[in-house]
Structure formats: structure tokens, C-alpha cells
Amino acid sequence: MKEFLFPQSVAVIGASPRPESIGGQILLQLLRGFRGRTYAVNPRYQVEKVGGREVQFYKGVSQLPEAPELVVVATPADAVPRVVDEAGQAGAKAAIVVSGGFAEVGRRDLEEELVKSARRHGVRVLGPNCIGVYNAFNGLDTMFLPAEKAGRPPPGPIAFLSQSGAVMTAVLDWAAGEGIGVGIAVNFGNRSDVTESDFLRHLGEVEEVKTVALYLEGFRWRGDAARFLEAARAVKKPVVVYKAGRGADSTRAATSHTAAMAGSYEMYKALFRQAGVVEVDDLVELFDAAKALAVYTPAKIEKVLVVSSSGGMGVQITDALNAAGLSVPELPKDVQEELRRRLLPIAAVANPVDLTGGGVDEHFGAALEVGLKHADAAVVAALIHPPGYGEKAADHILSAYEKFRKPIVVVSFGGSAQTKALEEKLRGRLVVVNTPRRAAKALSAVAFYGSEVYRRGYEGWYKHKGG
């Protein structure tokens, strides 16, 4: 599996000097960013300019100066089995087949021929009908989409596994815009050979990856559910899943889209519970939870502190936390007295703590320093529109986080330059969202996984987190 993510050499079969073609775009992306060796294979060309440099094109894989660890196949579907067979004979270990025209359009025979060709030489296959791999750590990028149209996120602790290529593309573009670090992303296409379970196991050994986020429409092969359960249990890292295709109509759509097997949503829910993975309800929740689990040490969260510069937002956050199964208990009387001494006389101190519109930046830190002694986590609504608040509120929130190292999720809502500056300060260290529901769902993911850590006795988890 290592060759799919960390190859030293890659050959693009079906490469082209034309950037508007699939093979041309893949070649261009690799030449621009991949830190290994890249070879172009296409008998129609000799030496061509690609991305401003002269590139040697080879007639076949057997003529390359070395056996490539990975081949990326972008040829017409009928040629793919032969091409993969030749790559296997030349010593390739893995093949990403981006070409479509296989089981997804009814040509299962051609897909079976592809798999047979690969297995004859011990070649593992990702795809066909996929966009392959994005690895921000080494520049491996087989996405055949221009970076100016589909953004690539910066390196980060989240790995994203997606059964849909378009979903993966859109999510990575969104993550790039939000500054969310996604170190590795993989699309499986038809899953003729390699599946999400194979990558899940391998990502458990990739040190840079702290959390795995998975977009799942369904399993394809009999035994896939059991393999997923085994892999998820074996990986001592948080796994977050968004299962699409929950109703009868969407299940039918998923079956035609990715050749997935039909199965009741209740079966999947039971599987996720057994596997101890965090399940979410949409793609935004998927990444909120994944980031929270990458940033915060899992914990049993029984009491949540709510701190807000707005009474109305504090009420909404409390509702959202309760709906997510988390408690916002009243603080002890002596704690309330201490808060009264450090905040404005008109502040509400029972929990939620309402700093009021007359507060100042320092009050965020004071409320957290007092309240977090008696809570397991906090949600802070940092609405800094009143005159006493500003982007320096972020410094006080971060100071409290450094002191207690308990999860703090921040709700920030607004479009001013100061609000954006506050969010920018916080995003590198904490989870920042724009609604109470997102905050509650992210924190509930940390709480759920915290209970899993204790239940399973993951002694190595805290070492993994550096805690």
C-alpha cells in the first residue's frame, strides 16, 4: 500500500503534452509538485514541452530507466488490461487507473480482465474510474483538475477517503479555501481491488495522519463490512464517517454511482457502533469532527462550560449541546462568586456565562480560567462586535487553552475584518465554526471518541497524540 501514497517514482501511461487532456493534466501536476521521479509514457510523442520544461516521452513502461513503483493509467478503457500487464512485467507494484468505462457502465468483464492482469504480477489496483491520490506531504497528485479550478489544501493531520471523485474534489477545494489541513486524500472509484479498508489500515501507520475522515456510499464486495470492522478496530486513530445513501431512493442512486452493494442504513449504523467510529450527518460535520479529533485529546466530557459575549448565542449553544447529548450544568456557587469578582456585575455566571455586550477581551480569559476548573470542555461564542471586544480576545482564549489543554470550540459569526482576524488567530490551534450546532457536533465527536478510548483501553493513543 505504501506505493500508492509514498512512491519514489511514478509513470503516467497515456501522458500528453496537452494540459486540457486527462493524461496531460496529471503529468503537469506531478512535474510541478511531486518530489519523486516522474516519467511520461505515450508512443505518440518523443520530446515535448510540458509546463515550460522539456520532457522525454517513452514508448512503453519497459523502456523506462527504472521500474516505476507506481503507474497512473489514463488510456482508453479497452487498453487498460494490456497496459497494466506490461507495467507488472516491468516491475511496477501499484496502479492507479483513472480511466472510466468499466463496471460503472456495465462492463464488468473488462474490469475482471484488468484485475486478472494485475494479480498475475502482484500489482495492486486503485480504481478504475477514479481520480486517485492527493498527498500534500510529498506532492503526489493524480487529480486531473487544474489547481486554479480545484484548490489543493495545505498539509495537515486529516486524511480523507472518498468513494466519490467529485465529492473529494469539491471537499479539497473547500478545505483549501478554509485553510483546513488535509495531508492525504484518496478516491477509490469502482474499488476493483483496493478498498477503503486497505487504506484505513495503512493510514494507521502514517505518522503525519492523526484522523481519518471517510465519505462512504456503500460496500461493494461480500465481506467488505467485516473487513471494515476489523480495520477500524485495528487503527488506533479516530475514524469519522459520513454515510450517504440512507434512504431507498438515495441507496439506488449510490448503487448506480459507485457500483456499491445495497444494504439497509440500520446495518451500517450498527457496524459503525461496533467499529467505534464517529458517524456524522454531512460533509461539513465530517471535517468539523475530524479537525476536533486531530486537535484535541479525547476525553470523557460530562460537563461543558459555555462562555458568550451574547446571551442569545449562549442559549442557542446550550440547546445545541443538549441536543447532542452533552450537559451544561449550573456552576457551583463558589465558582459563580469568583466569576462575579472577575466579570462585570451584570454578567450572568451560572452557565452559560454571559459576559454581556459591555465586557472586554480579558473577560473571555477570566471566564475560561475560572470555569474550566469545573468543566471538561468549553464552547465560546466570540462575538466581538461590541466596542470592548476585538481580535485580542483570541489571545485570552488561547491562553486558557494552553493552561488547561481541555477542548475549546469557538463559535464566531460575522464578516468584519476584526472577526476574520480573530478567526485567523484561532484556526491554527482550535476548532472555529459559525453555528452552535456545528460546535456541539464537533465537541460530541471528541466526547464519543473519548469514551471509546477508555472502553478499548488504547494505551498507545496518548503517545500518538503527544499527550
Give CATH 3.40.50.720 domain extents, the chain: 1-131
Q: 125: which strand partners?
A: 95
Q: What is the mean pLDDT of residues 33-52?
A: 97
Confidence of residue 222 (pLDDT cuts 50, 70, 90): confident
Bridge-based pairing state of the strands 353-354 and 239-243: unpaired
Peptide bond into 146 cis (omega under 30): no
Starting at the edge strand found earlier in the chain, the sheet holding 211-216 runs 140-141, 133-135, 182-187, 158-162, 211-216, 239-243, 278-280
pLDDT at 45: 97
CATH 1.20.140.10 fits 1-131, yes or no: no
Residue 339: pLDDT over 70: yes
Confidence of residue 117 (pLDDT cuts 50, 70, 90): very high
pLDDT at 368: 99
Residue 177: pLDDT over 50: yes
> What tens digit of pLDDT does each residue of 268-314 get?
999 999 999 999 999 999 999 999 999 998 888 999 999 999 999 99
Residue 85 CB neighbour total at 10 angstroms: 18
pLDDT at 88: 98
pLDDT at 453: 75
CA–CA separation, 17 vs 248, rounded Å? 45
pLDDT at 467: 36
Sign of the CA dihedral with 405 first, then 344, 418, and 151 last: positive
Q: Is 60 exposed, middle or buried (0-12, 13-18, 19+ CB in 10 A)?
A: middle
pLDDT at 303: 98
> What tens digit of pLDDT does each residue of 210-220 get?
999 999 999 98
Question: Which is more confidently placed, 448 or 251?
Answer: 448
CA–CA separation, 141 vs 133, rounded Å? 6
Give CATH 3.40.50.261 domain extents, the chain: 150-295, 297-455
Confidence of residue 208 (pLDDT cuts 50, 70, 90): very high
CA 244 to chain centroid, in Å, comes to 16
pLDDT over 70, % of the chain: 93
Q: Assign residue 271 a region: left if phi > 0, alpha if psi is -120 to 50, beta otherwise? A: alpha
Architecture field, domain 297-455: 3-Layer(aba) Sandwich (3.40)
Question: DSSP code of 62?
Answer: G
pTM of the shown model = 0.92
Mean of per-residue pLDDT scores for the chain:
93
Q: What is the mean pLDDT of residues 422-448?
A: 96
Peptide bond into 298 cis (omega under 30): no
Looking at CATH, the fold of the domain delimited by 150-295 is given as Rossmann fold (3.40.50)
Question: Which is more confidently placed, 260 or 327?
Answer: 327
Residue 250: pLDDT over 70: no
